Amino acid sequence: MVDDLASAQAKADADVEQVKARRTRDRNRMDAGQITNPKDLERMQHELTSLDRRISTLEDEELEVMEQLEEAQASLAELSGQVAEGDERLSGLVTGRDLKAAEIDAELDRLTGERATAVDGMPDDLLALYEKLRANKDGVGAAELRQRRCNGCQLTIDNAELAVIRALPSNEVVRCEECQRILVRTGESGL
């Protein structure tokens, strides 16, 4: 829009200069006495009056375009400032995101190493069950049984089921009746 208005202003300037040049040429012809016929002289004076009106109109249009151009340039400057601020903020957010991603990757590497150590020596059938459940349960194949509640589905286990779980040996695999995840029993299980 600024470019269009700058072009419009240049055109208005050129139009004003063209009409002024014609007026100057006609006035010089009259002043030099090149027009001797009274009717031609009267016609030339009317044309000069008409050219003055045309110059006034063109200058008004030129001023209007100049005002619009100034407003557009001010808007452009403001928007450019906002874009610069947005770019700066985005750069900060990208840097923060990259730092967090690096932290997450480091944590993932650490946990992957811990998992490899924890899995070592576990029965293959238990690992296969866990991986199957994990694939079907949004990455969570086992959940802690805490205060009589499965932390996988967040449902409280009834007293009869808790009595059955309590009676099972500690190395027996227990699964939640609702979500089918493997329940990990701890001292906080409420058994």
Give Dmax (Cα) for the chain: 131
Residues 10 and 94 occupy one common structural domain: yes
113 in a domain, yes or no?
A: no
What pLDDT sits at residue 44? 83
In a domain, 143, yes or no: yes
Is residue 118 assigned to a domain?
no
User: What is the pLDDT confidence band of residue 98, given thresholds at 50, 70 and 90?
Assistant: very high
Same domain, 140 and 172: yes
> What is the mean predicted confidence (pLDDT) over 141-166?
88
pLDDT in tens, 20-66: 888 888 888 877 778 778 887 788 888 888 888 888 888 888 888 88
Tell me: do 7 and 98 sit in the same domain: yes
Percent of residues, the chain, with pLDDT higher than 70: 99
62 inside domain: yes
The pLDDT score that the predictor gives to residue 125 is 87
Is 116 a domain residue? no
pLDDT at 54: 85
The pLDDT value given to residue 85 = 96
The tally of domains found in the chain comes to 2
Full domain range(s) for residue 36: 2-108
| DSSP codes, the chain | -HHHHHHHHHHHHHHHHHHHHHHHHHHHHHHTT----HHHHHHHHHHHHHHHHHHHHHHHHHHHHHHHHHHHHHHHHHHHHHHHHHHHHHHHHHHHHHHHHHHHHHHHHHHHHHHHHHHTT--HHHHHHHHHHHHHTTT--EEEEETTEETTT-PBPPHHHHHHHHHS-TTS-EE-TTT-PEEEE-TTS--
Domain boundary among 108, 136, 162: 108
Residues 10 and 47 in one domain: yes
Asked if residue 129 lies in contact with residue 157, where contact means CB atoms within 8 angstroms, the answer is no
Which band of pLDDT confidence, cut at 50, 70 and 90, is reported for residue 91?
A: very high
Q: Both 165 and 96 in a single domain? A: no
Indicate if 18 and 100 belong to the same structural domain. yes
Check whether residue 136 and residue 104 sit in a common domain: no
Same domain, 156 and 129: yes
| Amino acid (one-letter) located at 179 | C
Work out the percent of the chain whose per-residue pLDDT is above 90: 24
